[in-house]
A and B are shown apart, each in its own frame.
Chain A
Amino acid sequence: MRILLVEPDAQLARTYAQALHDSGHEVVAAKTAQSAIHAADAHKPHLVLLEMQLVSHSGIEFLYEFRSYDDWQNIPVIILSVVPPGEFAGSRQLLEKELGVTGYYYKPHTSLAQLCQLVNQSTVDV
C-alpha cells in the first residue's frame, strides 16, 4: 500500500516511515498541509496518516481541501495526532461523516506495532 504520511516532526516522520516500510508499505512523507496536497496529487496514495497539528495550515484545512476533490473521496484518512481525541469529541461527527476520517489515534498511546496493525487492516478501492 502507498501511504501518505503527513507528519511535521522530522524525527517522528523518519521512525514512522521506517516502521511502515518494514511492514511492506511504500511511504510518501509530507511535512505541511500544502506539500501533502501536492504529494497526494503526485503519488496517489491508498491511505493517509494525518497529524492535525501542523505549521501554518492545520490538519483540518488539509482534510477539507483533500475531500473537495472527486478522485480523493474514497481514500481513507486515519488521524494520528498529538492532540488528545477527547478534545475533538464535539467534532467527531464532522470528522467521520463529512471528512471521511476512519480512525482517530492518539500518538502517545499508539505504538509502532499498533500503527502497522491498523494500517494493514485498512483497505481501499484503488
Chain B
Amino acid sequence: MNQQLTTGIILRRTDYGEADRIISLLTPKHGKLSLTAKGVRKVKSKLAGGIELFSVSQISFLAPRAGSEIGTLISARLVTHYHHIVEDIDRTMLGYDLIKQLDKATEDNPEPEYFELLQQAFEALNTREVERNLIQIWFAAQLLRLGGHTPNLQTDTAGNKLEPDKSYNFDFDRATFVLHPEGIFSSDEIKFLRLLFSGNNPSVLGKVINASTLITKIAQLVHFMRQQYIR
C-alpha cells in the first residue's frame, strides 16, 4: 500500500457522492492535495475534530491512482487548532478570505513557502493582539513577494537611491517610487514597506512605532498591487 504521511492545512471541504467528502489540503511537500474522506457524512459534521479549518493536521493518505487527481484520506490527527480565530467573527471572516486568496494565487502547484505563509497567517490571526489590518496587508505583501512581484524599494524611477529626506509617489506600472516634491510617501513608509516585504512576522511588524498610521498610508498601495499582479 502506497500510504504516505504529511502535515497539511485544510483549505476546503465539499460533498462528494452519497456519503463522502472531498478535502482540499495545502501541504509543504506535496503542494495541493485533494483527498476523499470516505463515509464521514454519516454523522453530519463536526465543527471540532481532526478535519477542520484553521488547523494544521497530520494526514495519512493513499496517493491518487493513475488517471485520477484525487487520493484517499486514511486518517487525520489534529496537531494545532487555531481556535481563537473561530471565536471572533472578524478574524474568522479574514481567515476565510486569506484561504481563498491563497487558493486562487496557487492554482498551479505551490512551493513549500505557501504552506509556511498560511501557517504564519493563522498564528497571527490566532493571536488577538495582532491587528487584523496588519495581517491583511502583510499577507498581501507575502503573496506578492512569493509571486515575484516585490516592488523596487531601493531606487527610484531615475535609478537613484531612495533618500530619507525626500518624498515620493508610487508608479504602479513600474512598481517603483518616483521622486515628487509633494509625494505622499516618505522614508517612514518606505522603511515599513521594506520590513513588510522582507518576510517578517506580523507580530514583529506590529511593534514598529506608529505601525497603525503607517499601515493606513501604505494599505492602498499594497492591496492595489495584489489586485494587479495576483489572480
A residues within 8 Å of B by Cβ? Answer: 33-34, 37-38, 40-41, 52-53, 56-62, 64-65, 68-71, 83, 87-88, 91, 94
Contacts and interface: CB of A to CB of B under 8 A. Distances in A.
A69 B86 contact: no
Interface in B8-24: 12-15, 21
- Give the interface SS of chain A, mostly helix, strand, loop or mixed: helix
Contact of A53 (B41, B45, B46, B89): B89
Interface of B: 12-15, 21, 41, 44-48, 53, 86-90, 92-93, 96-97
B96 A60 contact: yes
Contacts of B93: 60, 88, 91, 94
Contacts of A60: 89, 92-93, 96
Contacts of A88: 89, 93
A57 B86 contact: yes
Nearest to A52: B89
A59 B97 CA distance: 15
B15 A37 contact: no
29 contacts: A34-B45, A34-B46, A34-B47, A37-B44, A38-B44, A40-B44, A57-B86, A58-B86, A58-B87, A58-B88, A60-B89, A60-B92, A61-B86, A61-B92, A64-B53, A64-B96, A68-B13, A68-B14, A68-B15, A69-B15, A69-B41, A71-B15, A88-B89, A88-B93, A91-B93, A91-B97, A94-B93, A94-B96, A94-B97
Contacts of A87: 90
Given A37-B47, A60-B92, 12 more contacts: A34-B45, A34-B46, A37-B44, A37-B45, A41-B44, A61-B47, A61-B53, A61-B86, A64-B53, A64-B96, A94-B93, A94-B96
Contact of B45 (A65, A70, A71): A65
Nearest to B13: A68
A42 to B, nearest CB: 9
Contacts of A69: 15, 41, 44-45
A124 to B, nearest CB: 19
A28 B217 CA distance: 48
Contacts of B86: 56-58, 61
A38 B46 CA distance: 9
Contacts of B41: 69
A65 B12 CA distance: 10
A78 to B, nearest CB: 16
A94 B96 CA distance: 9
Given A69-B15, A94-B96, A58 B44 contact: no
Contacts of A71: 15
- Would you list the 10 A-B pairs with minimal beta carbon distance, nearest first? A41-B44, A60-B92, A70-B15, A58-B89, A37-B45, A58-B92, A34-B47, A61-B86, A91-B93, A57-B86
A122 B219 CA distance: 39
